[in-house]
Amino acid sequence: MEKTSCLHFCFISCLVLFIIVGSWYRSSISSLPGYSLQTQKPIYHSAETPHHPLDPLTVKEINRVRTILSSYEPFSFTFPTIHTILLDEPDKVQVLKWRKGDPFPPRKAQVLALLNGQSHVLNVDLDSIRVTSHVINPRSGYPMLSMDDISAASKAPFSNAEFNKSIAARGVSSSELICLPPSAGWFGPNEEGKRVVKVLCFSNQGTPNFYMRPIQGLVMTVDLDTMEVLKFSDTGRDIPIPKSTDTDYRYTAQKKEPQMEPLNPISIEQPKGPSFRVEDGHIVKWANWVFHLKADHRAGLVISRVMVRDSENGELRDVMYKGFASEFFVPYMDLDESWYFKSYMDAGEFGLGMSALPLVPLNDCPRHSYYMDGIFATPDGNPFVQPNMICLFERYAGDISWRHSEGLLTDFQIREARPKVTLVARMAASVGNYDYIFDWEFQTDGLINVKVGLSGMLMVKGSPYHQAPNQDAMSGPLISENLIGVVHDHFVTFHLDMDIDGANNSFVNVNLVKERSLPGESPRKSYLKAKRKIAKTEKDAQIKLKLYDPSEFHMINPSKRSRLGNPTGYKIVPGGTAASLLDHSDPPQLRSAFTNSQIWVTPYNKSEQWAGGLLTYQSRGDDTLAVWSERDRSIENKDIVLWYTLGFHHIPCQEDFPVMPTVTSGFELKPVNFFESNPILRAAPAFEKDLPVCRPSASP
């Protein structure tokens, strides 16, 4: 029990530290050499009020929600465990009509709570001070895990006799154990009726990187409501715990110098300060862009009301109403008793926002960054601050916006080039062992580049092998002595409510088709022709990407034309990606059927935002994007939502040990006939006189 108390104290202490550290950053980071947060004023969240209908709930508003729920009759005897309290956004029509200075639409909150093993979905009107809607168990599944769930489940094994006997037999001291509760998934009716979690344990002896020291084969199924160990599995006593040698990834722990020439310090200098500004806490204005930015408990980062300025008349034009990461599916490829269930849905089960820790100045975000906090609710309904969760910064990496030179074939010399400077909104989530970096990058040519980076630690499996045997019998390659890096996937599904020059849009598949020339028509035998097909219903827009059947995918406004008669639009440009290869009847794939296609288009529906369903934990897949899309609703010239799934196959390698270099992929949202011509034609080049002169120190 002493061990249990110690774990609980450490866990709560860490939570308090994370909340405090953001404020510490702002107050003390300016003392670091060469660093300043001079452009950012202190934020006093307790006094904040909303300035825009999409602004997140404030500290005062979350407190008001708790007060309303405390006096709500169904909760009069027992207050429920709060899993999320988020803004119930106004109807889209209301938001689009609203202008600064107008009265606000009613401020409302959506609450996901748990009481007596049942899921409660409530809507609370903050103006009328009442609960306006209350539904119990609307679908299969439960709300995401709370911090109380995670804390209690991590302690449950230590009061179990079988567990204590097993770790003693392995020669492991309880003082060196860290136990974590990954989600259990769903694998049929036998697992229904109880909210359960799997608990795995690791040794932190000699290293903070306990993920590299798994207690292989030891797994417990724990009832989250009673904290009873329902099932105990112990199959790996003959597998040694991997050594801690070379697992510590901290800079201060490195004993050898890197075998490379040292890099001199590098930084972007902005003598006039950043070009962007943040108004009223959430409205970002930069170059020709304006958008609303906020933190979200589940999605992490939400971009809304995205508008770009017309390059001819200067008017702001709609591009996107709302964009965010809707779900993150991570299935592992191992059938072992202690591995088969590892098929996580990180947004719906853990929360990308809840997993976001403070960003590290100068390393996560460069100098002159602006930091934004998240305001969320604890399990008892009180507000807390997730500090420095999002950063905004301008990026210049020597890239070129456009260029052309003449002189080889003409009498006149032309050297024209423009530097590419972009604006980045960044958030990083640390979901257990993995770190996910989300970038929304805005370019002055109207392009939005969305990138996802993967870093952190592998989820590894203990092995008896020191050197690689016949790997066909293994679930992944050996990445270090006694460690297997299990093959796995990552799929991120984005909700992209595109509003190109207005809400009513159409989806167009522009297919490149090979045509053959007629006999004698040309020396060429074949050529490509673009053929356009407008999707009429949802099934027309369920797209599986194919390298040898290429298409462009356009979102257009059929009612808005360029001077040449082309419909204004944007296209989604996939980067490197991957598709799920699991059987559609496999339980993890049933729950994550939104990865069956890379592109979906659905009619706008305020209730259809989470690709894995509102209640994802232990869900059966009955409330997913794939289920909604099977209705085959009309989508031509309607208010529609584009969904895109970005995928990674990950076959681990030795270079991923002990911490992975970041791997990045993404997609672009690129204007197509949206502007009358190149929107940055008149952009100014850089001149020496405009830049500060930074001279290196004298050579030794």
Q: Which residues are catalytic?
A: 346, 434
Q: State the pairing for strand pair 130-136/316-331.
A: unpaired
Distance CA 579, CA 642 (A): 18
Distance CA 556, CA 576 (A): 24
State the sign of the Cα–Cα–Cα–Cα dihedral 329, 335, 340, 342.
negative
Determine contact, residues 455/662, Cβ cutoff 8 Å.
yes
Which residues on adjacent β-strands are paired with residue 391? 371, 426
DSSP, residue by residue, 480-509: ETTEEE--EEEEEEEEEEE-TTSSEEEEEE
Distance CA 84, CA 348 (A): 11
Question: How much is the CA Rg of the chain, to the nearest whole Å?
Answer: 27
Nearest to residue 458, comparing CAs of 658, 604, 311, 602? 658
Distance CA 532, CA 552 (A): 9
Residue type, 29: I
Tokens of 190: 């036998």
Q: Classify residue 627 by burial, with Cβ atoms within 10 Å: 0-12, 13-18, 19+.
A: middle
Nearest to residue 303, comparing CAs of 326, 288, 324? 324
What three-state secondary structure class fits 647? strand
Query: 563-569 — which CB contacts under 8 Å span 24+ positions?
Result: 563/676, 564/673, 566/673, 567/673, 568/500, 568/501, 568/673, 568/674, 569/500, 569/508, 569/671, 569/672, 569/673, 569/674
Distance CA 354, CA 347 (A): 9
Three-state DSSP string of 139-162: CCCECCCCHHHHHHHHHHHHHCHH
Question: Half-sphere exposure of 393 toward its Cβ, with a 13 Å CA cutoff?
Answer: 24
Tokens of 475: 């679930």
Determine contact, residues 338/221, Cβ cutoff 8 Å.
no
Tokens of 266: 């590098």
Question: Half-sphere exposure of 653 toward its Cβ, with a 13 Å CA cutoff?
Answer: 5
Distance CA 369, CA 392 (A): 5
Distance spanning both ends of the chain, measured CA to CA: 61
- The set of residues, in sequence order, having a beta carbon less than 8 Å from that of 488 and lying 6+ positions away, is 330, 331, 332, 333, 342, 459, 650
Determine contact, residues 84/57, Cβ cutoff 8 Å.
no
Which residues on adjacent β-strands are paired with residue 628? none
Distance CA 25, CA 37 (A): 9
Distance CA 572, CA 558 (A): 17
Distance CA 194, CA 186 (A): 11
Residue length of the chain: 700
Query: Pseudo-torsion of CA 340, 609, 147, 225, nearest 10°?
Result: -70
